[in-house]
Structure 1
Amino acid sequence: MSDRLRLTAPLPTLDAWVDAFARAEIPVLAETAESLEHMRATEDDVDANGLGEMIASDPLMTLKVLAHAHTLRRGSSTGLRAAPETVTGALVLMGITPFFRAFGPQPTLEDVLSDHEAALLGLSRVLQRAERASRYALAFAAHRADPDAAILHSAALLHDFAEMLLWVHAPDLALQIAALQEADRQLRSNAAQRQVLGIELADLEQALMKRWQLPELLTRITNDKHERDPQVRCVYLAVRLARHTARGWDDAAVPDDLHDIAELLNLSESHALKLLHEFD
């Protein structure tokens, strides 16, 4: 993941999209880059939990760390097979000093999109939505006493990472999709994506997760095709609610979300709504 990429036209196949995005450099939030440099200066005082907690608030840095952990496992002579399922687990695997050696000063989203203010705004909305979805997913998991709560938090945070990468690597195409949906509020995201890109971002995301050999549990939980699985449903409903309430709680789809969330949590709808406002 080292090339700077800026696409202005769709690629011909899903494989071509995967190859391009897998090679491209992934920038991170400026605040993440700044925090990493501050921690680098006091490396002896840094532990995996503190570093992991900071990184886990940035979906693209989270993605980079989990993908890098895969390369370490692939080159390991110890026969280590299981992928770490959280950022903290990945940091424990690689060690603090090797982490800082592998991750030098990071390129930032703000610098990469400094010439494209509209794309930076679009990306900011996706990042904000992901942060809210991850909070909902963590709260749902905690309510259900799910032992994989931390992984569900990561899954919700990463659920739309292909859309984030599209804003970074193909901002003009991302804006075309946004314009289509703004013009027709009934147009589904996957239909708009097929129209502009020739592919669906969910398929690109699953293919990238397999290319980077991200943890099987994380890959499964982010795949909405397994929506009836309780863990997948936890993340799916968190992402759905965050999307529908991005502009407020008066979206026509919110009552359906509320019904399904109440069912998931085994609560009345009024109690579920009260909890949701507390989570938010």
Structure 2
Amino acid sequence: MTDWLTRLLPGDTPVFRHTHRALAELAPRRDRLAAREVAHEILSDPFATLLVIHAINKRMAQRSGNEVTTVEHAVMMQGIGAYLEAARALPVLENTPAGQDAFALRALHGLVRRAQHAAWQARDFAVLHSDIQAEEVQVAAILHHVPEMLLWLRAPAEARRLRALCRQMPAEEAAATVLGQTLPAWRLAILEAWNVPEFTRDLLDPARTGQPRQTILAACIDIARRAEKGWWDEALLQDYQALADLDHLPLEQVIAIAHANAARAARGSTWLAATPAGAWIPMIPGPWPAEEDEEPQPSAAPRSASETVAPRDATIASVQASPAAVEPATVSVPAPDIPQAPAPLADAPQAAPRAAAGEAPAPDEHLACPMPDKQVFRDALKGIESHLDGSYNLNQMSAVILKGLHTGLGLTRILFAMVTPDGERVKSRFTLGIAADDPLRHFEFRLDGKDLFAQLMGKMQGVWINEGNRERLWPMVDPRLQKLVGAGDFYAMSLFNGSRPLGLIYADRGHGECGLDPLTYTDFKMLCLQAARGLGKVRG
């Protein structure tokens, strides 16, 4: 084994300064943290992800234990306090030679962007496929990019040579010249040396194809790589088609989902000095400008994310400046089954708002189509999770849920109807965005009824009424409720605490120009699943 390859084997490895600080800020709250909160910060940094997976599986191998394939599980096994204490001693990448090399640091930032983008895509499509362990797919997508990052960190000369040769010849020929083997074989060998579980490596092995997870990973990793050069690459259609075939989805819906995921990933890490692929979504078709071979002078500092130069001859809009440009087009499709997947990891908590029961917006509040605020959505998930100890009453918990739906998902009319004490009816209890004179405030139906809403109360399930299923499902709605709801698209989902029905959440965006979309439907169901957990734990 060559000397430079030896340098890629397990040893002291830094994390990015952003990660180091984020973990340090969590430490004072270690006794009140959930493992998923710590995992959220770790997953934003491929090096931190590698280190925690390596450490726990090295220990498990010595004890002949089972492999650990998710970061959340690894943190739980190590202990939140123990992990955060150990993280204080991790070296900071920006203080290493690679961190002082502007070109190498920029390359590392670009790979982190790519890894995060691939992970967003892979996790979301795994959830759509009803994968209850979607984080395993997410972790695999991140770790796929780590060997190349290690090359830039510990063998920058070879990394530069590989990049230069990839511009002159096919990537596999360049890899054979520099690495002495194919990229996939080299990548798997490095990951095996780092005690990455065989289960995870198999997901990344191109020789093991045909399984849904491998299909999702291969397509999403390829999307993340190709989209860095624009979204008009014809090869992307093959990736979209593979994902569409997997879940029998319309191709245009898959494209909309991929674009929305790219935008979400782009907004997630503003500390990275690399342009996200999501920035190129509004770009007009045309040839991609040739890359410049010159490296910056050694003294040059890497550009900030806001200073990155856009390709010449490309018409683009900043993801942050114009989020509407990268939101998916509304696609009306029949409602899929509820994916029983874990909720996304949440960021920092936010104080719960006061109960919003009976509040109504200004008369013209939802004339303009709302823009979802994903941070508020994540805060709502986190707010519910952090109050499963019975510290919230019904009003407080409902306020968190309604805010997550209204501000987090951009839903304008929201109603939470609860089972009445006699157990015979479901009746409106809390509303947000519904005017005082709106008949929807009088939403009520019998549990033993035969209409669509009563049928939803048979078990925890959801429905999205849209033009694709309206002809079949709308006649199932009681005529009285049809008048209350109005003829438009809406989401509805029943809530249960175990086998006990709690109520139902109804939401729409009015019945004007603001439509509903499949991504918001997925998030709506995810928040409702979490809401049911929270409502089952309220005090009083």
In the superposition, the TM-score normalised over structure 2's length comes to: 0.46
3-state SS in 1 of match to 2:2 = coil
Alignment equivalent of 2:92, drawn from 95, 108, 123? 108
Provide, for residues 80-126 of structure 1, a one-character-per-residue CA deviation record: whole Å limited to 9, x for no partner: x2122111101111112322344333222322223321111112111
Alignment equivalent of 2:136, drawn from 140, 151, 163? 151
Alignment equivalent of 2:2, drawn from 1, 5, 12? 12
Alignment equivalent of 1:91, drawn from 75, 85, 104? 75
Measure, in 1, the Cα distance between the counterparts of 2:212 and 2:170: 24
3-state SS in 1 of match to 2:116 = helix
Cα RMSD (Å) of the superposition?
A: 2.1
Measure, in 2, the Cα distance between the counterparts of 1:273 and 1:100: 39
Alignment equivalent of 1:203, drawn from 185, 191, 205? 185
Contact 1:37 1:105 in 2 (8 A): no
- Supply the AA of the counterpart residue of 1:131: Q
Measure, in 1, the Cα distance between the counterparts of 2:144 and 2:37: 23
Give the percent of matched residue pairs that are identical in Structure 1 and Structure 2.
Answer: 26
Paired position in structure 2 for 1:139: 124
Measure, in 2, the Cα distance between the counterparts of 1:54 and 1:265: 30
Tell me, yes or no, if structure 1 residue 167 matches structure 2 residue 167.
no
Paired position in structure 1 for 2:221: 239
Contact 1:33 1:105 in 2 (8 A): no
> Bigger shift: 97-106 or 134-143?
97-106
3-state SS in 1 of match to 2:9 = helix
Paired position in structure 2 for 1:8: none
Paired position in structure 1 for 2:256: 274
Using a 3 Å threshold, how does the CA distance of structure 1 residues 252 and 175 change in structure 2: closer, same or farther? farther
Measure, in 2, the Cα distance between the counterparts of 1:43 and 1:133: 30
Contact 2:43 2:71 in 1 (8 A): yes
The alpha carbon displacement at 1:219 in A equals: 1.6
Using a 3 Å threshold, how does the CA distance of structure 1 residues 25 and 190 change in structure 2: closer, same or farther? farther
Tell me, yes or no, if structure 1 residue 33 matches structure 2 residue 20.
yes
- Supply the AA of the counterpart residue of 1:154: V
Higher strand share: 2
Tell me, yes or no, if structure 1 residue 65 matches structure 2 residue 52.
yes
Whose relative contact order is higher, 1 or 2, with alpha carbons under 8 Å and at least 6 apart?
A: 1
Contact 1:12 1:198 in 2 (8 A): no
Paired position in structure 2 for 1:257: 239
The alpha carbon displacement at 1:259 in A equals: 2.4
3-state SS in 1 of match to 2:7 = helix
The unaligned stretches of length 5 or more in structure 2 are 263-540
Measure, in 1, the Cα distance between the counterparts of 2:62 and 2:254: 47
3-state SS in 2 of match to 1:106 = coil
3-state SS in 2 of match to 1:66 = helix
Contact 1:134 1:156 in 2 (8 A): yes
Larger radius of gyration: 2
Paired position in structure 1 for 2:42: 55
The alpha carbon displacement at 1:242 in A equals: 0.7
Alignment equivalent of 1:194, drawn from 163, 167, 176? 176
The alpha carbon displacement at 1:214 in A equals: 2.4
- Supply the AA of the counterpart residue of 1:130: A
Provide, for residues 212-267 of structure 1, a one-character-per-residue CA deviation record: whole Å limited to 9, x for no partner: 33223212112222132221111111001111111210224222222222222322
Alignment equivalent of 2:104, drawn from 119, 133, 139? 119
3-state SS in 2 of match to 1:226 = coil
- Supply the AA of the counterpart residue of 1:50: E
3-state SS in 2 of match to 1:225 = coil
Measure, in 2, the Cα distance between the counterparts of 1:275 and 1:74: 39
Contact 1:162 1:202 in 2 (8 A): no
Using a 3 Å threshold, how does the CA distance of structure 1 residues 98 and 196 change in structure 2: closer, same or farther? same
The alpha carbon displacement at 1:75 in A equals: 4.3
Measure, in 1, the Cα distance between the counterparts of 2:27 and 2:253: 45
Contact 2:108 2:149 in 1 (8 A): yes
Provide, for residues 38-91 of structure 1, a one-character-per-residue CA deviation record: whole Å limited to 9, x for no partner: 223443333322111211121110110011002322444xx6x21221111011
Measure, in 1, the Cα distance between the counterparts of 2:103 and 2:114: 17
Alignment equivalent of 2:197, drawn from 185, 190, 215? 215
The alpha carbon displacement at 1:177 in A equals: 1.5
Paired position in structure 1 for 2:372: none
The alpha carbon displacement at 1:201 in A equals: 3.8
Measure, in 2, the Cα distance between the counterparts of 1:215 and 1:148: 15
